[in-house]
A and B are shown apart, each in its own frame.
Chain A
């Protein structure tokens, strides 16, 4: 009896093992469904990012009939906690382990990208950033950085200041954390490479509520102030700047996004900025996107929506090219060197998963309809890696 029981147990074990092996082998075949976790904040002070990213992603999925590489695409939304990276990590673990996410898009904030990168790399899950990222998250890690590495993305602002505007000295102003320092480094490196010099750098600590000190402490002898601040802080700084009647020209990385820009645009007329995305960019992909967005939402899209749309299309393109294989290696292979038509024109990823794309120098103007716009002036191609 005992021998029969042992034999039966062995047969069951073998059957189970064979079933598992079949199941493993089955994972190499075409998947029926690809689950994408979209990680962006939908609560707290940055709650606008989540809904904006969803709009862009859903527009792209709708255009692709929610299919890619022969599989249907399922989108799972995850609320990014902008103040507590450990919470974001737990939510990302849940979307991977419980919801079965094959690809993660986001998070938006650098601290959260750093917090989830090691886990996603270990789990073999690709992480597509939408609004920049540190290039160390790519390469041996699983990230794909869009639209380019943080340390290079603002480079054209420095180049334009030196070569087109003829400036010799600049001051800088940015937040005292990684993204601010990386972005400004890109601009100053390019400016110094073109022969200019940096006379003053001011870093605004996190939690600063009053910008007056930074406006009054500015070295007024420089040719321009290169700055990047989040829109609310940029607006507060610009208001102080104008009240103090400081005449030093501003060179604003990213300018100021809507809706804040529409509130303070009158204080920025004629100032120069550098956009990663601009809804006025003249290319087919952007025309298609802005038209679809206007039809759906009756407004002009912002950068978060545009880049969510762009990244969704990039993922769809890669999945179509490799029959729905969502592994980091397969996606890197599909995207490496491929010229992509995106909302900001031609773009590509390198073998490490870092994108290069266009940056557009812009000028602040007021349109005939009373709307403030960042009007494209000059585009620099292939920036980011």
Chain B
């Protein structure tokens, strides 16, 4: 049971990492490789406000989300400079990893910040033989709340319907008089804000570091590939599956644990090339 609890806790972290990327990829059809860098900005912003300046964690995380939303606007404008050229967009976003990573190093230094320690989120909840750290419960709560919010926005609102329409047929959506550019901007802002919040709340167990742009990107990509593009439930299920598999493999086959995620990704790609959710980009 401890392994299951560990896996679900990790799955919540992975969902937070992957959901913003899945949303952006689904809405724009463009892979924003700078997603991990946005996560990192959220983590460092939260560290600055909550740990260095003593803000309450909730305020710091929301502020990190706001900072990253602004960053999302800038990124969207940059992507718009080279529309419809996916290779160039991928190259640009890859370059942004280095730009943002080095800027972070300039501002916060090269040494990683330790996992954030916040009053009220220390210790563990004991359920029988299973111990679940309180900070993991907080992350899981935020993760599932964001999943619910994103699902509601995507599946139950007019804006969500526009996003889904844009994903299925951009030309037809534009022909219907929908300003898809504004929808894309809104999704970019939302996805970046989620990444910032993820970085802030994920900092409770992962801290903040200039490694995160690549580390987070890799995990987020696995989540998106397994879960399927643009699907909130698919991303959530994939995150939990990956979290459980990682925890189980580290417990049962520690020597194999580092490759298990990739084996799962290969298996899903072979069985369902569009991922668990079954949507096509």
Chain A contact residues, CB within 8 Å of chain B: 43-48, 202-203, 205-210, 212-214, 216-217, 231-232, 235-236, 239-240, 242-245, 259-260, 263-264
Contact = CB atoms under 8 A, between A and B. Distances in A.
Interface centre among B114, B209, B246, B247 (most CB of A within 10 A): B114
B205 A260 contact: no
A212 B136 contact: yes
A100 B136 CA distance: 54
Contact of A216 (B6, B105, B254, B258): B6
Interface centre among A208, A212, A214, A232 (most CB of B within 10 A): A212
Contacts of A264: 114, 117
Contact of B215 (A209, A217, A245): A209
A45 B110 contact: yes
Contacts of B110: 44-48
Contacts of B115: 235-236, 239
Interface centre among A210, A231, A245 (most CB of B within 10 A): A210
Given A205-B258, A210-B10, A232-B114, A216 B215 contact: no
B114 A205 contact: no
Interface centre among A217, A239, A260, A264 (most CB of B within 10 A): A239
A232 B112 contact: yes
Contacts, number: 94
B210 interface: yes
Contact of B109 (A48, A203, A243): A48
Closest 3 CB pairs of A and B: A47-B110, A205-B258, A232-B112
Interface in B224-256: 246-247, 250-251, 254-255
Contacts of A217: 250-251
Given A235-B115, A239-B114, A203 B254 contact: yes
A243 B116 CA distance: 12
B17 to A, nearest CB: 10
B206 A236 contact: yes
Interface in B101-146: 102, 105, 109-115, 117, 122-124, 131, 133-136
B215 A236 contact: no
A243 B134 contact: yes
A207 B9 CA distance: 18
B111 A216 contact: no
A298 to B, nearest CB: 17
Interface of B: 2-3, 6, 9-10, 13, 102, 105, 109-115, 117, 122-124, 131, 133-136, 205-207, 209-211, 215, 219, 246-247, 250-251, 254-255, 257-258
Nearest to B7: A213
A212 B134 contact: no
A382 to B, nearest CB: 32
Contacts of B250: 213-214, 217
Contacts of B3: 213, 216
Given A209-B219, A216-B2, 4 more contacts: A202-B254, A205-B254, A205-B258, A213-B6
B34 to A, nearest CB: 17
Contact of B124 (A205, A210, A244, A263): A244
B171 to A, nearest CB: 41
Contacts of A202: 254
B133 A243 contact: yes
B2 A207 contact: no
A287 to B, nearest CB: 27
Contacts of B13: 210
B102 to A, nearest CB: 8
